[in-house]
Amino acid sequence: MEFSAEQIAEFLQGTTEGDKKVKVNKVCRIEEGVNGGLSFMANPKYEPYIYSTQASVVVVNENFTAQKPVQATLVRVKDAYSAFASLLELYNQYRFNRTGISDKASVHENATLGQNVYIGDFTVAEKDSVIGDNSKIYPQVYIGENVKIGSNVTVYAGVKIYHDVTIGDNCIIHSGAVIGADGFGFAPLEDGSFKKIPQTGNVIIKDNVEIGANTCIDRSTMGSTVIEEGTKIDNLCQIAHNVTIGRSTVISAQTGAAGSTAIGSNCFIGGQVGFAGHITIGDNVQIGAQSGVMSNTPDASRLFGSPAINPKEWMRAYALFKKLPEMEKRLRELENHSKQNG
C-alpha cells in the first residue's frame, strides 16, 4: 500500500514542493522519520527536525518558511494537524479494510447482515441481531439477541454486547468493552442480605460515538442508558444504569458515573472523575482529573477537587491545607507557652 506525494497533495487539496513522485508506505513521527515514511509538522517547536528527518514526505502548513534545505518532499496545506489526521483516517481505512464472514463465526439464521460486512473468527451474532452496511466485527465479539448495529461501525476483538442494545452509525468500540451488562441494582432486606433488582432496560448509543477499551456501559433498570451523538469515552470507564450523556462530551480514562447521573453536552471530563448518582451536570462543563462531583452543576461550570469546587477556590484552600502542619506546630507552641506563663 503506497501513496505518492502527488496523490497525498491531491487528497488534501494542497501543493507539493520537491519530488512529487516519491512514495510512502508508512507513517512516522518527524523526529523518528524513515525512508518511505509520511510525517507532519504543525508545531513550530518541531521545526529543527524537518531539516534532519529521513521521512520521505512531510505535511506542513502552507505558510511555513524553511530556514535551511529540506531533504523531504513537502506537502503544503492550510492546517497540517487536521490534514494529517485525515490522512491517518484514510490510512486506517486501507489498513483495516476487511470483508467477508468467517466460516468460524456463528451467525443466527434470523440475524440480518448489511452489505460489505466483515465478521471475524469465533464471533457470535444471536437471533434478530442486525449489523449495518460496511460494519466490521472483529474476532471473538458477542452480539446478543435483538442488538441493532448501524452502518460503518467498527467493533474490535473481544467486545461483548448484551441483548437489546442499539448502536448508531460510524461508532467505534474498542476491545474488552462490555455494553449492556446489568446495572448495579440491589434492594437491602431485613436479614441484611440483598435482593437483585431486574434490569429490564437497554443501552442506546447514538451516531459517531467512540467507546474505549474495557469500558462498561450498563443497561438501565427501566428505560435506557443513553450516550448521545459524537461523545467520546476513554478506556476503563464505568457508565452505570440510567446514565445519560449529552452530545460531543469527552470523558477521560477511569471515570465513573453512578446510576441516573445526567451529564450534559460539550463537557470535558478529566481522568478518574467520580460522579455521585442522581445528579445533573450542565452543558459545557469542565471537570479536572480526580475530582469528586457530589451535586448538581450548572452550565459552563469549572470544577476541581473532591468534593469538586471552583478551581481557584480549591487552589486557595490547598494553599492553606499545605500549611496545616506548620500551623498546628505553632498552635501547640502557643498553647505550651500559655501554660508555662499561666
Angle at 152 between CA 95 and CA 124, to 5 degrees: 90
DSSP string, 260-290: T-EE-SS-EE-TT-EE-TT-EE-TT-EE-TT
Q: How far apart are CA 78 and CA 289, in angstroms?
A: 34
Residues 157 and 287 in one domain: yes
In this prediction, residue 246 carries a pLDDT of 98
CATH number of the domain bearing residue 83: 3.40.1390.10
Residues 83 and 77 sit within 8 Å (Cβ to Cβ): yes
Residues 214 and 194 sit within 8 Å (Cβ to Cβ): no
Residue 312 forms part of a structural domain: no
Residue 342 forms part of a structural domain: no
User: In the listed set 45, 69, 95, which residue is the last one of a domain according to the structure?
Assistant: 95
Query: Above pLDDT 70, what percent of the chain?
Result: 100
Report the chain's mean pLDDT, rounded to a whole number: 95
- Closest by CA to 262, choosing from 247, 284, 277, 249, is 277
- Closest by CA to 53, choosing from 68, 39, 65, 67, is 39
Q: Which three cell numbers stand for residue 192?
A: 441484611
Q: How far apart are CA 219 and CA 188, in angstroms?
A: 21
Beta bridge partners of 181: 218
Angle at 168 between CA 167 and CA 169, to 5 degrees: 130
Q: Which domain holds residue 233?
A: 102-303
- Closest by CA to 215, choosing from 143, 158, 144, 154, is 158
Residue 334 forms part of a structural domain: no
Residues 127 and 159 in one domain: yes
Residue 145 forms part of a structural domain: yes
Residues 241 and 262 in one domain: yes
The model's pLDDT over 274-295, given as tens digits with 9 standing for 90+, comes to 999 999 999 999 999 999 999 9
Annotated catalytic residue: which of 174, 241, 278, 337? 241
Residues 230 and 125 in one domain: yes
Residue 338 forms part of a structural domain: no
Look up cell 477556590; give the residue: 313
Please indicate whether residue 330 or residue 152 has the higher confidence score (pLDDT).
152
DSSP string, 51-63: TT---SEEEEETT
Residues 29 and 85 in one domain: yes
Neighbours of 170 (CB within 10 A): 17
Give 338's contacts (C-beta < 8 A, 6+ positions apart).
none
In this prediction, residue 342 carries a pLDDT of 62
Q: How far apart are CA 310 and CA 153, in angstroms?
A: 39
Residues 170 and 261 in one domain: yes
Q: How far apart are CA 255 and CA 275, in angstroms?
A: 8
User: In the listed set 95, 129, 147, which residue is the last one of a domain according to the structure?
Assistant: 95
Residue 8's Cβ-count burial label (10 Å; 0-12, 13-18, 19+) is buried
The model's pLDDT over 72-92, given as tens digits with 9 standing for 90+, comes to 999 999 999 999 999 888 887
CATH number of the domain bearing residue 172: 2.160.10.10
Residues 91 and 148 in one domain: no
Q: How far apart are CA 259 and CA 279, in angstroms?
A: 9
Residues 32 and 125 in one domain: no
State yes or no: pLDDT of 139 exceeds 80. yes
Q: Which three cell numbers stand for residue 278?
A: 442522581
Q: How far apart are CA 4 and CA 8, in angstroms?
A: 6
Q: How far apart are CA 257 and CA 266, in angstroms?
A: 16
Residue 318 binned pLDDT confidence (cut-offs 50, 70, 90): confident
Give first-to-last CA distance, the chain, whole Å: 89
User: In the listed set 95, 114, 134, which residue is the last one of a domain according to the structure?
Assistant: 95
Q: How far apart are CA 265 and CA 315, in angstroms?
A: 27
Residue 197 forms part of a structural domain: yes
The model's pLDDT over 211-234, given as tens digits with 9 standing for 90+, comes to 999 999 999 999 999 999 999 999
State yes or no: pLDDT of 96 exceeds 80. no
Mean pLDDT of 139-158: 98
Residues 77 and 173 in one domain: no
Residue 264 binned pLDDT confidence (cut-offs 50, 70, 90): very high
Residues 89 and 113 in one domain: no
Give 197's contacts (C-beta < 8 A, 6+ positions apart).
185, 186, 187, 221
- Give yes or no: 163 in active site: no
Residue 327 forms part of a structural domain: no
Look up cell 500559655; give the residue: 338
The domain tally of the chain equals: 2
Residues 150 and 274 in one domain: yes
In this prediction, residue 90 carries a pLDDT of 82
- Closest by CA to 217, choosing from 194, 198, 195, 234, is 234
Residues 72 and 128 in one domain: no
Residue 332 forms part of a structural domain: no
Cis peptide upstream of residue 307 (ω within 30 degrees of 0) = yes
